Amino acid sequence: MQRKVIIDCDPGQDDALMLFLAFASPEELNILGVCAVAGNVPLEKTQRNMCILSDIVGNEKVPMFAGRDKPLTNVGLTAEHVHGRDGIDGIDIFSPRTKLEPKDAVDFIVDTLLSAADDEITIVATGPLTNIASAILREPTILPKIHEIVVMGGAMKEGGNITPSAEFNIFVDPHAAKIVFECGRPIVAFGLDVTHQVFTSPNVLERIAKLDNRVAKASHGMLAFFGRYDAQKYRAQGAPLHDPCTIAYLLQPELFELKSCNVRVETDSELTMGHTAVDFWGVTGLRANVEWAHSVHRDGFFDLLIERLSRY
């Protein structure tokens, strides 16, 4: 089955790998548009990076849109300490041939959903959820059109990566995350519990290095850069491939184990702002609103990634 998807992201090296996986998979995914949001780096850079990545995959038909440059309520926060000054450090930055559409990303999301059938569109979100929440706030009648929202964000067992209790995407815009997680449509969430099971390794980088194409070379360069910070932080052999989990799930859901859980987002506490309270054991009795990913078949994940990179 080919799904119609809108991708919303903040590239970011792991967002880049997510896009590479998606653009290599036209049999499964009909990408209607890609949107950028402020996150890992400011919007001017995430939108430029998105267009650079579009050039690298040779995209000529999927339109690109720029969205919100700051969170709904909180002040913004970026992560150059993880992703580098440009966000996709590890490759040379160039002026992309791909141009942004004049339309704003939130308008694109609203208009696309309004003209879709019920339950028709899957949204993949791998940055702060500002664009998606803004679309829902602007036009709540889009909700029935959403088949599911596949999110990289949150953490339960792994605590947090930007504060002791919050994951970056949720921390940057917890108010947006709350709106999305409580919107009533099916949500599948890939938090740190699962993305910390897919760290790259020297072996993975060697396998990518053997692929002789432009996208694989860019992947190798970015992952080599991205791995440095995380290897030190987590005492791991490389970097966690957070964002590609979303697309890997759409391509091969059997790679992941999910559990239906109630998930609420902390928006009040200064100490735990952006924490995702995942009721994994059903102690609250509250309705499950999220399919929470908690396990991934690591080898299968990297086999899929490398096979798709070899297609370019």
Q: How far is the CB of 51 from Ca ion (least distance, A)?
A: 16
User: The tokens of 78 are what?
Assistant: 């970026």
- Is residue 86 within the footprint of ligand BDR (CB under 6 A)? no
243 binds ligand BDR (CB under 6 A): yes
Instruction: Output the smallest distance, CB 47 to ligand BDR, in A.
Output: 15
| Binding of ligand BDR by 167 (CB under 6 A) | yes
Q: Report long-range pairs for 43-49 (Cβ below 8 Å, ≥24 apart).
A: 43/67, 43/68, 43/69, 44/69, 45/86, 45/87, 46/9, 46/10, 46/11, 46/12, 46/87, 46/127, 47/100, 48/93, 48/96, 49/11, 49/12, 49/15, 49/16, 49/86, 49/87, 49/88
Q: Which is nearer to ligand BDR, 126 or 145 (CB)?
A: 126
Query: Residue 167 touches which of Ca ion, ligand BDR, none (CB < 5 to 8 A by kind)?
Result: ligand BDR
Which of Ca ion, ligand BDR, none has residue 173 at its interface (CB below 5 to 8 Å by kind)? none
Give the active site residue among 147, 242, 275, 294.
242
Give whichever of 55 and 158 is closer to ligand BDR, judged by the CB atom.
158
| Residue 161 binding target from Ca ion, ligand BDR, none, CB below 5 to 8 Å by type | ligand BDR
Annotation marks residue 81 as catalytic? no
Q: Which is nearer to Ca ion, 45 or 145 (CB)?
A: 45
User: What is the rounded CA–CA span in Å between residue 273 and residue 259?
Assistant: 24
The span from the CA of 3 to the CA of 32, in Å, is: 10
Size of the site for ligand BDR (CB under 6 A): 14
Rounded to a whole number of angstroms, the minimum distance from the CB of residue 94 to ligand BDR is 21
CB of 242 to Ca ion, least distance (A): 7
C-alpha 82/C-alpha 78 separation (Å) is 9
In sign, the C-alpha dihedral spanning 200, 204, 206, 207 is: negative
Strand partners, 163: 166
| HSE (side-chain half, CA atoms, 13 Å) at 215 | 24
226 near ligand BDR (CB under 6 A): no
User: Per rule CB under 5 A, is residue 87 in the interface with Ca ion?
Assistant: no
Q: Does 161 bind Ca ion (CB under 5 A)?
A: no
Round to whole Å and give the CA distance between 262 and 265: 10
Residue 265's nearest CA partner among 164, 192, 156, 162 is 156
Determine which residue in the list 6, 8, 15, 289 makes contact with Ca ion, applying CB under 5 A: 15
Binding residues for ligand BDR restricted to 257-296, rule: CB under 6 A: none
Query: Which one of Ca ion, ligand BDR, none is in contact with 82 (Cβ closer than 5 to 8 A by kind)?
Result: ligand BDR
Residue carrying structure tokens 């740190």: 192
Residues engaged in binding Ca ion (CB under 5 A): 10, 12, 15, 126-127, 243
Residues at the site binding ligand BDR, with contacts judged by CB under 6 A = 12, 14-15, 40, 79, 82, 126, 152, 161, 167-169, 242-243
Active-site amino acid positions: 242
